[in-house]
Structure 1
Amino acid sequence: MTLDPRLAGRRVTVRVPATSANLGPGFDTLGLALSVYDELEVTAVDEPGAHVDVHGVGEGVVETDASNLVVRSIAHVFERAGVELPGLRLIAHNTIPHGRGMGSSGAAIVGGVMAAKGLLEGIVDLDEDALLARATELEGHPDNVAPALFGGLTIAWMGDRGPQHKRLTVHRGVSPLVCVPDASTMSTAMARTLQPESVPHTDAIFNVSRSALLIAALIQSPELLFTATEDRLHQSYRASAMPETDALIQTLRQAGFPAVVSGAGPSILVLCADPGERLRAAELVEQHRATPWTMHMLAVDVLGATVVTHPVEGLA
């Protein structure tokens, strides 16, 4: 492969939302895009390799060379497209917490995939299916990357044509509250080791009914969110690894608030039916939290990841 001259000096900016996956009963299937964002600026340069500047979350910790997850994601898309990768200069402004169940790794992957889409504009066309396929190849499953790519509420599944998704618009009353512990983290890989290989038939039926109800609650009937967020498939098995998360969820649910583990945890997502309920949930967290938690009153992101291409003259 030879470097395409159209890449020289091309610059793109990318914005990617945080996500919350599972949403209680929708294990490995449902995901929601949230109004917290990582922003990237990526420039194709003539020097080989990658140079990364990270600001905000992950500064001084995240890799700043070709091993950076965003860079690896860009490289993966270029390789699959059969286009030689140029040198890259990446500036990342991160606000999505790392290791807290808000989709930070999925956002990094989607950020790289979208940056590659922008850099390859006019060279290789990447449609929605291709974007989701490339992101899923890197992430391993589509439930976090789908809402980060497309926004809103997404249903994601694996089919004969690879990963597929359906995007739905969330009822305007739904008011997410995310409670993030200041100290503890949880990796998705670690959380998955706590899952049993099989579950009782009655629990499987229970979750099928609740996940179906959750779709209706989120798009049409928010008053059903408490019942719709009940789960028997994964949260109880992970509770011992996140005792503070479990205790706060139990406190919230006993008071009637639809609280669930956000992604793999340890953050908590409260899917309130209206802003007033969200304020009451936040007051309860403030009264009963045993350790420091940061509360975020968020909106549902409706755009998903965006990329803007800025052609420049000459080499950067």
Structure 2
Amino acid sequence: MEPVVGAPIVADDAVRSVTVTVPATSANLGPGFDTLGLALSVYDTLTVSAFDDDRLEIEVAGSGAEEIATDADNLVFRSIAHVYADVGREVPGLRIHAVNGVPHGRGLGSSGAAVTAGILIAKGLLAGDVDLDDDALLRLATEMEGHPDNVAPALFGGLTIAWTGERGPQHKKLLVHRGVAPVVFVPGFTMSTSLARSLQPPQVSREDAVFNVSRSALLVAALTQSPELLLDATADRLHQDYRGPAMPETLRLVQALRAAGFAAVVSGAGPSVLVLADGPGARQRAVDVADAMTDTSWDAHMLAVDVRGGTVRDRAEGST
């Protein structure tokens, strides 16, 4: 998941240029379906210049580059345009250079990262004309993404609890205990989020609902105060087993890791697997378990929890 290096030179005729960095995210974390999300230290970096014309130039390098639209259908551009329309401004000419480190189609929030990048690009380009606070950023990102559990940690970093209330999408950011050491196992195959969601039943039993409520509450405590509780806290009955038939290799790895005592969950809609280990030594033992799964090759990435979230820097002023 190493990004491709090399940013473009900003054109002399640019009205304004910004650089945005957005982290990968892992949503659900087991029982926290559509509610909990965690920012991870893998990043998309975009450099964008605005012009006094109607040009649209998009260049993409890194993960998914060959599949990403480079016209007005591009998700980053559509997210920028969504913000401009919301505040009643006309989208300027744009040159977008994206270097994608977040794996695409692997359950690590690549679409949420693209949406978040677009929202932050618009924030940076509009600075001094329109000021967008955190509530506005989350609302606009959720309108594009559909739900806030991936965009909240991408925007704000750390562990986030996201919900929708009378004031629209809301979030609470929490700091993760320093003893929590994430490792992500990324396979060579992808998974469609819409397919994964279609496999879930419209209703679940009261027993399963209560089970997940208890584990979600416990997970917040485990991640922030008591990492020794993570195995019990990451148990789930609402979505992972139902999605298993679409990604049997993922389910087998989760089961093998949990049987070995690791807090393993499907990352987002999958097919990547997230392990919330309790230290570097535990992470290596988890890698050994994955290496023993000879039917599938898993690329292990030992990561940190990103605490900053998305950042935007004006290239002229050097601000964040």
Residues 1:239 and 2:232 aligned together: no
Tell me if structure 1 keeps the 8 A contact 2:291–2:297: no
Q: CA deviation at 1:291?
A: 1.5
Give the share of equivalent positions with the same residue, in percent.
66
Find 1:24's aligned residue among 24, 30, 39: 30
Match of residue 140 from structure 2 = 134
Question: Which residue identity does 1:303 align to in structure 2?
Answer: R
Tell me if structure 2 keeps the 8 A contact 1:248–1:289: no
Report the Cα distance in structure 1 between the residues aligned to 2:66 and 2:257, rounded to whole angstroms: 36
Residues 1:191 and 2:220 aligned together: no
Report the Cα distance in structure 2 between the residues aligned to 1:217 and 1:35, rounded to whole angstroms: 20
Report the Cα distance in structure 2 between the residues aligned to 1:169 and 1:135, rounded to whole angstroms: 22
Residues 1:36 and 2:34 aligned together: no
Task: Give the secondary-structure state (helix, strand or coil) at the position aligned to 2:309.
Answer: coil
Residues 1:88 and 2:94 aligned together: yes
Match of residue 149 from structure 2 = 143
The TM-score normalised by the length of structure 1 is: 0.95
Report the Cα distance in structure 2 between the residues aligned to 1:58 and 1:198, rounded to whole angstroms: 35
Q: What is the number of equivalent residue pairs in this alignment?
A: 305
Q: CA deviation at 1:311?
A: 4.0
Report the Cα distance in structure 2 between the residues aligned to 1:8 and 1:93, rounded to whole angstroms: 20
The TM-score normalised by the length of structure 2 is: 0.93
Distance 1:185 1:198, change over 3 A: same
Match of residue 59 from structure 1 = 65
Task: Give the secondary-structure state (helix, strand or coil) at the position aligned to 2:149.
Answer: coil
Report the Cα distance in structure 1 between the residues aligned to 2:185 and 2:56, rounded to whole angstroms: 35
Find 1:272's aligned residue among 246, 255, 277: 277
Q: CA deviation at 1:274?
A: 1.6
Report the Cα distance in structure 2 between the residues aligned to 1:123 and 1:188, rounded to whole angstroms: 37
Residues 1:166 and 2:175 aligned together: no
State the Cα deviation string for residues 246-293 of structure 1 (Å, max 9, x = none): 111111111111110000000000011222111110111112241121
Q: CA deviation at 1:127?
A: 0.2
Match of residue 177 from structure 1 = 183
Match of residue 207 from structure 2 = 202
Report the Cα distance in structure 2 between the residues aligned to 1:11 and 1:17, rounded to whole angstroms: 20
Task: Give the secondary-structure state (helix, strand or coil) at the position aligned to 1:299.
Answer: coil
Question: Which residue identity does 2:102 align to in structure 1?
Answer: I
Q: Which runs of 5+ in 1 are unaligned?
A: 1-6
Match of residue 251 from structure 1 = 256
Residues 1:45 and 2:51 aligned together: yes
Report the Cα distance in structure 1 between the residues aligned to 2:294 and 2:171, rounded to whole angstroms: 37
Report the Cα distance in structure 1 between the residues aligned to 2:79 and 2:294, rounded to whole angstroms: 38
Q: Which runs of structure 1 show a deviation greater than 3 angstroms over 4 or more consecutive aligned residues? A: none
Report the Cα distance in structure 1 between the residues aligned to 2:95 and 2:300, rounded to whole angstroms: 34
Tell me if structure 2 keeps the 8 A contact 1:11–1:311: yes
Find 1:229's aligned residue among 234, 246, 259: 234
Report the Cα distance in structure 1 between the residues aligned to 2:242 and 2:15, rounded to whole angstroms: 50
Report the Cα distance in structure 1 between the residues aligned to 2:142 and 2:33, rounded to whole angstroms: 16
Residues 1:296 and 2:301 aligned together: yes
Q: Which runs of 5+ in 2 are unaligned?
A: 1-12
